[in-house]
Amino acid sequence: MKYLIVGGVAGGASAAARLRRLDENAEIILFEKGEHISYANCGLPYYIGDVINDRNRLFVQTPISFGNRYDIDVRTLQEVTKINRKKHTIEVQDLKNFKVYEENYDILLLSPGALPIIPDMPGFNGNNIFTLRSVEDCDKIKMKAVDSFSLNSSVTIVGGGFIGLEMAENLRKMNFNVTLIEKSDHILTPTDLPIAATVEQHILDNGVKIMTNTSVVAFDDINDRKKIILDNGTEIISDFVILSIGVRPNSSLAQDAGLEIGNTGGIKVNQYLQTSDEHIFAVGDAIEFPHPITKVPYCNFLAGPANAQARIAAVNMVYPETVKYQGSVSTAIAKIFDLTVACTGLSESTLLHSDIPYETVIVHPAAHATYYPGGSPLSLKLNFSLEDGRIFGAQSVGKQNVDKQIDVISLLLKHNGTIFDLVNSEHSYAPPFGSAKSPVMFAGMVAENIFSHLMNPIHVKTLDQMIDNNEDFFLLDVRELIEYKNGTIKNAVRYSVDELREFLDEIPENKKIVVFCEVGLRGYVASRILMQNGFEKVFNLIGGMRTYRMIGLHNEKP
Amino acid sequence: MKYLIVGGVAGGASAAARLRRLDENAEIILFEKGEHISYANCGLPYYIGDVINDRNRLFVQTPISFGNRYDIDVRTLQEVTKINRKKHTIEVQDLKNFKVYEENYDILLLSPGALPIIPDMPGFNGNNIFTLRSVEDCDKIKMKAVDSFSLNSSVTIVGGGFIGLEMAENLRKMNFNVTLIEKSDHILTPTDLPIAATVEQHILDNGVKIMTNTSVVAFDDINDRKKIILDNGTEIISDFVILSIGVRPNSSLAQDAGLEIGNTGGIKVNQYLQTSDEHIFAVGDAIEFPHPITKVPYCNFLAGPANAQARIAAVNMVYPETVKYQGSVSTAIAKIFDLTVACTGLSESTLLHSDIPYETVIVHPAAHATYYPGGSPLSLKLNFSLEDGRIFGAQSVGKQNVDKQIDVISLLLKHNGTIFDLVNSEHSYAPPFGSAKSPVMFAGMVAENIFSHLMNPIHVKTLDQMIDNNEDFFLLDVRELIEYKNGTIKNAVRYSVDELREFLDEIPENKKIVVFCEVGLRGYVASRILMQNGFEKVFNLIGGMRTYRMIGLHNEKP
């Protein structure tokens, strides 16, 4: 058999290695249009920031070492420009000498990756605007950063996604004045507001300027600097711009060959990762695949699933229709200065957009037992179904143990897990690592309390609307006096949860009552006391004052 | 309704709080024979070692604060001495004035915990021998440690379980000369040899002396010190002894009342955590419950399940037969100096003892992407079924991210998860947190390669036996020359995996071939090359030289 593979980064290289392990006698040729294969894509921002200071560390394998180990013909700087499906050949351009040649295949694998989205706007040219996708991009940015650095050097980053934020951190640590422009109302759109707002506050605290709800309308060249013109009329002048507004599947080769392309622009594949041509497989950023929850095809631009797909595609290329790909729930994480933020599954905005009814909770437990030194709180938000308790998604932010919570929920999402599974989960507990109740259990318990009508939830947004509309309701702060004095919500009346039973006569009987505490736990205890004492319309503020402040700080951001 | 609860630590206090949230009008009385309720049991070794330096931090709740919040009659220093099941009363001794009184109940909850196992042997008395279970025990040990400390002070710890090891670390850090005695062939018996051996080496490196395969046969008092006489004739003299050879369920109250007790000595309960008397429930260390995998009842002396059971029991006490307890897979973790060691599910010795056929793999991946600074390797061992791929258990040791691997596998164990679920798992990946393939995926892939006969496994123990028996086989080291020169296995012949295809003629055709590399990956690639080139009896050493060294160091320990 003769296998050709287009693209030598995550998906292509993994598939090639596995193909060889499955078929020692096959002919395998790997085509990569860049200079490198199998490099550490996700490490590029850290190489720019000198966290990774040896460039060689980015290269997991060289074309020679990889070729030797797996007996693969690795052809770098060779671009595949055409597929002749009838003839079972591809057309390759050798970028070193611009010669074009053909190569035939029995089975072809496409792993061409994604391309940065480039806006069509005035002033957008090659001067001082960079995208980050390849080692070559990375080298250019690093050179520019080193060259242009002086005391007042500045950079504007357009796009507040994971890579935009990683670049903001790394450039800020190099002492650039960094401005981040985000067109949505919050950065990190795969996460919901309270989580994103915490990250926004943290990067503000680290000296990065953020502008949300803001778009770039044009660029201009001012000597060797760049002017960025925003939709609100503001103009920013920076030494250079990093454009990180997303990527799109690199599916033009497939499209030109008449392979089916989905609505997202990604190559359509079946469960065996086979395209509409049975002799052509595709993996990685270039494909679309149904989301396990929404069932709607989408593109998942993540390294983990690309590797997993490669392993599956290789098996199916050798042994047809053997292993099914299950799809990805989009689990992602980033370190942003001292915080970790991670998410899995569906955000509120995706759920709304998909017309899926949901409820949401947020908890703020300690990352490990509070009596053991060195701990800090984390926030964990859980989106779930009130119909059957199914989990839709989760997000977390904090300094410690954020990855662990999201990995556990990610696994549950792939098994159609429910909030009850979270309550029944079992984790490794000793004081340095957690608490007897883990954050995921705790979130599951709050969700279960809502599900079983032990508690009626109210969210910060709704409370804010009630306040704005001058609605007539009773706002009850059940914290201690010292907490109340450090700031409460306007018009709140305070009775500590521990003395609430003595003051039931002071609570109006027929009004809607909104109870809150610092994080939601005492509010729950208080609402149980009230509900069981005949008060009928009692609501507990989910996530308490801490969530209220998280969102408030976001809203008040200059 | 009137609920009485016996025991006010993890299980009892949690159940009391939830009972109140479910039933505002019930009468709830909590009896605790000690002075404290709801204290940080798992933090006690760290308080002794001054890692937790404020004693007050051990107390999550005081009897007064807890009583106020939940309107509960908390009675400390009151020991429940008898249950009159016919009369629905208990007999209580007030330890402050030694008065005895009765209290009636509608529903009774037993959460009496466990008691340290005390050996019946000469010289065992109250002098300078301590067990650690309660705050009172902890205060005694701390006082003794502070009093007896001088330059040459020494302590002997009997029992190398989690608490014994935590005590070894904390006392060693106080500069005691610490000797640890363990009667099994390795410490941490819920883990298998390579994992435990890594911990043994680490605590040796930190100056703790370990004696495995060793039992204490007698103690003796030598002035104000203690002589420990071992089964090998050795005598050790220490300032004091910590006895940590395990605990047993504190089920005598239940037994005296005629409640059914299981073979383990634990109180028998049904899925609703109800004892053989429908008006009496029981939770925590005092009960036995079927293991989800073996189906055999066992006692699980862990804080997490105790809390989970309490929450379930409370619901079933108010709303009969509502929530089922699913059992625990025994997930545990400890920090031992700079290492973390954790486990979930069944160890090899339990599997052997339960007559469950299994296969096992061990992998040594990096805790996070090797190109990102600050990473270190971890070891992950997976026990699974070759019949259907079901996971039986897992153990991990390393400096970072050990908890995360075990929490994910623990969750899978509760859902009858398989090695294929590990391969298909999805985790949050960015270079500071992991690699594109997580350690659990990686272990799953190795297991899957064995399951699908892509690779034949051989284990260090079998290889050692083959060497000892002078079996005729070909031992092939496929690492690089520099690795080989730093130490290989006796009689091994070396051909790098990358040049193996050129030297196939040098490999004997009809002999059994054992291939190995450093961790197992190149060995797998090499064994695929050999197997596909007609060699029929090719075996890859699971976990490679690293595992070989881990176990070798254990075996050579003085």
Query: For the residues of B439-467, what is the DSSP string, one character each?
Result: HHHHHHHHHHHHHTTSS-EE-HHHHHHHH
**Which tens digits make up the pLDDT trace of A459-499?**
999 999 999 999 999 999 999 999 999 999 999 999 999 99
Cβ–Cβ contact B40 with A under 8 A: yes
* Nearest Cβ partner for B369 among A25, A43, A342: A43
Chain position carrying tokens 């503000």: A204
Q: Residue B23: its chain A contacts at CB < 8 A?
A: 532
Q: Give the pLDDT confidence score for residue B369 in this predicted structure.
A: 83
pLDDT at A558 over 60: no
Q: Give the pLDDT confidence score for residue A406 in this predicted structure.
A: 98
Q: DSSP labels for A276-340?
A: SSTTEEE-GGGEEEE-TTT--EE----HHHHHHHHHHHHHHHHSTT----------EEEEETTEE
Q: Give the pLDDT confidence score for residue A74 in this predicted structure.
A: 97
Nearest one of B136, B140, B186, B137 to B161, comparing CA atoms = B186
Q: Give the pLDDT confidence score for residue B426 in this predicted structure.
A: 96
The ipTM assigned to this model is 0.95
Would you place residue B58 in the very low, low, confident or very high pLDDT band (cuts 50, 70, 90)?
A: confident
For A333-345, give one letter per residue: b (16+ CB within 10 A) or e.
Answer: bbbbbebbbbbbb
For residue B143, how many other CB atoms are within 10 A of its CB? 11
- Name, in order, each residue with C-beta under 8 angstroms of A157's C-beta and a sequence gap of 6 or more: A164, A167, A168, A171, A178, A179, A180, A181, A241, A242, A244
Give, in order, the Cα–Cα distances in Å from B81 to each of A382, B28, B98, B288: 45, 19, 12, 21
pLDDT at B87 over 80: yes
- Determine contact, residues B158/B243, Cβ cutoff 8 Å: yes
Closest-CA distance, B217 to chain A, in angstroms, reads 32
Nearest one of A264, A303, A304, A307 to A287, comparing CA atoms = A264
d(CA B119, CA B122): 9
Q: Residue A22: its chain B contacts at CB < 8 A?
A: 454, 528
Q: Residue A52: its chain B contacts at CB < 8 A?
A: 371-373
d(CA A454, CA A469): 28
Cβ–Cβ contact A494 with B under 8 A: no
Helix (H, G, I), strand (E, B) or coil at A239: coil
Cβ–Cβ contact A433 with B under 8 A: yes
Judge: B371–A433 Cβ closer than 8 Å, yes or no: no
Would you place residue B351 in the very low, low, confident or very high pLDDT band (cuts 50, 70, 90)?
A: very high
Q: Give the pLDDT confidence score for residue B558 in this predicted structure.
A: 47
Closest-CA distance, B169 to chain A, in angstroms, reads 14
**Which tens digits make up the pLDDT trace of B198-250?**
999 999 999 999 999 999 999 999 999 999 999 999 999 999 999 999 999 99
d(CA B348, CA B330): 14
Strand order in the sheet with A107-110: A73-76, A27-32, A2-6, A107-110, A280-282
Q: Give the pLDDT confidence score for residue B367 in this predicted structure.
A: 86
| A contact residues 13-32, partner B, Cβ 8 Å cutoff | 20-25
pLDDT at B497 over 70: yes
**Which tens digits make up the pLDDT trace of A260-295?**
999 999 999 999 999 999 999 999 999 999 999 999
Entry pTM: 0.96
| B contact residues 274-313, partner A, Cβ 8 Å cutoff | 302-308, 311
Closest-CA residue in chain B for A394?
B428
Q: Residue A336: its chain B contacts at CB < 8 A?
A: none
Helix (H, G, I), strand (E, B) or coil at A75: strand
| B contact residues 323-342, partner A, Cβ 8 Å cutoff | 326, 328-329, 331-335, 340, 342
What is the arithmetic mean of pLDDT over B66-86? 97
Q: Residue B425: its chain A contacts at CB < 8 A?
A: 410-411, 414
CB pairs under 8 A between A and B: 235
Cβ–Cβ contact B71 with A under 8 A: yes
* Beta strands in B364-434, from DSSP E residues, in sequence order: 378-384, 391-398
Closest-CA distance, A44 to chain B, in angstroms, reads 10
Q: Give the pLDDT confidence score for residue B10 in this predicted structure.
A: 83
Q: Give the pLDDT confidence score for residue B556 in this predicted structure.
A: 66
Judge: A333–B433 Cβ closer than 8 Å, yes or no: yes
Helix (H, G, I), strand (E, B) or coil at A514: strand
* Type of residue at A171: L
Nearest one of B377, B406, B358 to B520, comparing CA atoms = B377
What is the arithmetic mean of pLDDT over B534-554? 93
Beta bridge partners of B243: B158
pLDDT at B553 over 80: no
**Which tens digits make up the pLDDT trace of A188-245?**
999 999 999 999 999 999 999 999 999 999 999 999 899 999 999 999 999 999 999 9
What is the arithmetic mean of pLDDT over B5-11? 92
**Which tens digits make up the pLDDT trace of B360-372?**
999 999 988 888 8
d(CA A347, CA A184): 14
Q: Residue A441: its chain B contacts at CB < 8 A?
A: 308
Q: How far apart are the first and last CA of chain B?
A: 62
d(CA A326, CA B424): 8
Helix (H, G, I), strand (E, B) or coil at B413: helix
Would you place residue A88 in the very low, low, confident or very high pLDDT band (cuts 50, 70, 90)?
A: very high
Judge: B431–A404 Cβ closer than 8 Å, yes or no: no
Helix (H, G, I), strand (E, B) or coil at A65: helix
- Name, in order, each residue with C-beta under 8 angstroms of A117's C-beta and a sequence gap of 6 or more: A245, A246, A247, A248
Q: Give the pLDDT confidence score for residue A557 in this predicted structure.
A: 56
Judge: A524–B21 Cβ closer than 8 Å, yes or no: yes
pLDDT at A364 over 90: yes
Closest-CA distance, B491 to chain A, in angstroms, reads 25
Beta bridge partners of B377: B366
Cβ–Cβ contact B430 with A under 8 A: yes
Give, in order, the Cα–Cα distances in Å from A456 to each of A514, B19, B538: 10, 19, 63
Closest-CA distance, A89 to chain B, in angstroms, reads 28
Looking at every residue in chain B, the average pLDDT score rounds to 95
pLDDT at A78 over 70: yes
Cβ–Cβ contact A52 with B under 8 A: yes
Cβ–Cβ contact B57 with A under 8 A: yes
Cβ–Cβ contact A429 with B under 8 A: yes
Q: Give the pLDDT confidence score for residue B375 in this predicted structure.
A: 87
DSSP assigned state of A149: -
pLDDT at B57 over 90: no
Judge: A51–B415 Cβ closer than 8 Å, yes or no: no
Judge: B308–A57 Cβ closer than 8 Å, yes or no: no
Helix (H, G, I), strand (E, B) or coil at B131: coil
pLDDT at B554 over 70: yes
Cβ–Cβ contact A412 with B under 8 A: yes
Cβ–Cβ contact B429 with A under 8 A: yes
pLDDT at A555 over 80: no
pLDDT at B557 over 80: no
Judge: A371–B304 Cβ closer than 8 Å, yes or no: no
Cβ–Cβ contact A511 with B under 8 A: no
**Which tens digits make up the pLDDT trace of B433-486?**
999 899 999 999 999 999 999 999 999 999 999 999 999 999 999 999 999 999
Chain A interface test: which of B36, B46, B68, B429 (most A C-beta within 10 Å): B429
* Nearest Cβ partner for B371 among A52, A70, A331: A52
d(CA A454, CA A538): 11
Cβ–Cβ contact A61 with B under 8 A: no
Judge: A371–B340 Cβ closer than 8 Å, yes or no: no
For B201-219, give one letter per residue: b (16+ CB within 10 A) or e.
Answer: bbbeebebbbbbebbbeeb
Closest-CA distance, B60 to chain A, in angstroms, reads 8
Cβ–Cβ contact B433 with A under 8 A: yes
Q: Give the pLDDT confidence score for residue A39 in this predicted structure.
A: 83
Q: Residue B50: its chain A contacts at CB < 8 A?
A: none
Looking at every residue in chain A, the average pLDDT score rounds to 95
* Nearest Cβ partner for A21 among B69, B308, B528: B528
Cβ–Cβ contact A533 with B under 8 A: yes
Q: Residue A447: its chain B contacts at CB < 8 A?
A: none
Q: How far apart are the first and last CA of chain A?
A: 62
